[in-house]
Amino acid sequence: MATADFALETATSDGGSLRRVAIDPLSRVEGHGKVTLLLDEAGQVRQARLHIVEFRGFEKFIQGRPYWEVPVMVQRLCGICPVSHHLAAAKALDHIVGADDLPPTAEKLRRLMHAGQILQSHALHFFHLSSPDLLFGFASDATRRNLVGIAAAHPEIARQGVLLRRFGQEIIRLTAGKRVHGTGAIPGGVNRALSREERAALLGEIYQVIAWSRQAVQLVKRLHAADPELYDHFGTCRSNLLSIVGAGGVLDFYDGRLRARDADGRLLADAVHIRNYADLISEEVKSWSYMKFPFLTAIGPQEGWYKVGPLARMQNCDAIATPLAEAERREFIAHGGGRIVHAPLAYHWARMVEMLHAAEAIKDLLHDDDLSGSELRSSGTRHHEGVGVIEAPRGTLIHHYRVDDDDLVTMCNLIVSTTHNNQPMNEAVRRVAQRYLNGQELTEGLLNHIEVAIRCFDPCLSCATHALGRMPLQLELQDASGRVVARQGTAPTDLSSAGGRA
């Protein structure tokens, strides 16, 4: 439910004044963030920003740890997408231990684990977090816009959402050892295989999971068809696209090369090796958020920002390898009429097609006897640096490490999915605010429109808060009377509106 506070800001250069509206905290997203709006005396939106107000510093405190601890440590970034960090770190460390070619059993078990993560995360986001807005309306009764309200009004939809997520979590439990923060992937491979009995138990459920996933795709298509004006234009902002694609240009969540397109679909970069990601992407810091702003280096920060995640992947790949999802992808592409679909609400359609693909991929993998093999790990010539890139549920995830001769991490750089989407989310917030809030009396329902735009991207704000250069963070030591006796760090110029923590 959107909640806001109001405050009067400083006078403008033309003698007017700006009113500040803060939506704090954002609801039904993972992590902590807020939105600030500056309105002029006529109620017109002069500024709209998404602020990430938590600082975590994982890139620093991983330094000095033994490299083999990292795949378990980095999962603590998040309780929603720990598997993605677990696998991206393990992939980066594969190169460090010289295991560029994993045994088939190890790679397929990792792929199965990741497909379970995609399935459970997409189900969680769509059914638990976003469906209340989509099924009841953005400005509907706030007390109904939750999973309890969905269970009361649409019990079968709520039930399917819960069971889809449960199945994905069971895949993770059996491959990683636990549903959350498992240990299944290790540098060079995995630490266990699946028994034939475990595979048989999962196969007993997978066909129902596929059927429910197909129903979810049909549901979101019906929502689009019922109100195309809303779904095709709400918060729409044109941008470049980025993802990895597999061999032959197919959608691949686990492995591939980087590909970027411009807003019209023209290729900007293709088949970029993951170890060369730094040649493709740069990052900048802005004073009012703890989250970085990536961009395509060759284009620059003003025009080089891009989207990642389901909407980008669906239009960046050339095909999906599983038949049901490929048929749905083609229908999605046809919906765009030959143009790239940029509407944030289309993320939900693409997300459900990906969930269907994950279910189909799980079915195919469970029939593969390699999952019960005994060769679980490989190694080779040791290296001091490794990069792992994976398509997490929310988008492209990059882990980059350097390790010294004592096996200790000396450098860690993480560019997570939500960080890639930082500028697109801010643009969507600005466009929705200008379209729906200009000159209006601000109600909870209108403010929820802004949260809806953010939720389209399925942001994981906990994952996204990392440092680059000087942080907009200021520490103050005060005595008992409140007098500042020491100060260290650099505060952003608009720290009060950015929600910075002192």
CB 80 within 8 A of CB 179: no
> Along the 502 residues of the chain, how does pLDDT read in single tens digits?
555 555 544 445 455 688 888 887 676 666 567 888 898 888 888 888 887 665 557 788 889 999 999 999 998 887 677 899 999 999 999 999 999 999 999 999 999 999 999 999 999 999 999 999 999 999 999 999 998 999 999 999 999 999 999 999 999 999 999 888 899 999 999 999 999 999 999 999 999 999 999 999 999 999 999 999 999 999 999 999 999 999 999 999 999 999 999 999 999 999 999 999 999 999 998 877 778 899 999 999 999 999 999 999 999 999 999 999 999 999 999 999 999 999 999 999 999 999 999 999 999 999 999 999 999 999 999 999 999 999 999 999 999 999 999 999 999 999 989 899 999 999 999 999 999 988 888 888 998 999 899 999 998 765 555 433 333 334 445 555 666 655 544 443 332 333 322 2
Instruction: Say what the pLDDT of residue 461 is.
Output: 64
- Bond prior to 344 in cis (omega within 30° of 0): no
Phi, psi of 130 (to 5 degrees): -105, -30
Cα–Cα distance measured from residue 457 to residue 33, given in angstroms and rounded to the nearest whole number: 14
The pair of three-digit structure tokens given for residue 105, joined into one six-digit string: 């059993």
In one-letter notation, the amino acid at residue 155 is P
Which residue stretches of 262-381 are H helix? Answer: 277-280, 310-316, 323-335, 346-366
Distance between CA atoms of 193 and 95, rounded to whole angstroms?
22
The torsion defined by the Cα of 218, 221, 226 and 231, in degrees rounded to 10, comes to 150
Q: Which pTM does this prediction carry? A: 0.89
Q: What is the pLDDT of residue 56?
A: 58
Strands ordered across the beta sheet of 257-261:
267-272, 257-261, 240-245, 306-307
pLDDT value at residue 8: 46
What own/partner pairs with CB < 8 Å and gap ≥ 24 does 493-496 have?
493/287, 494/287, 494/288
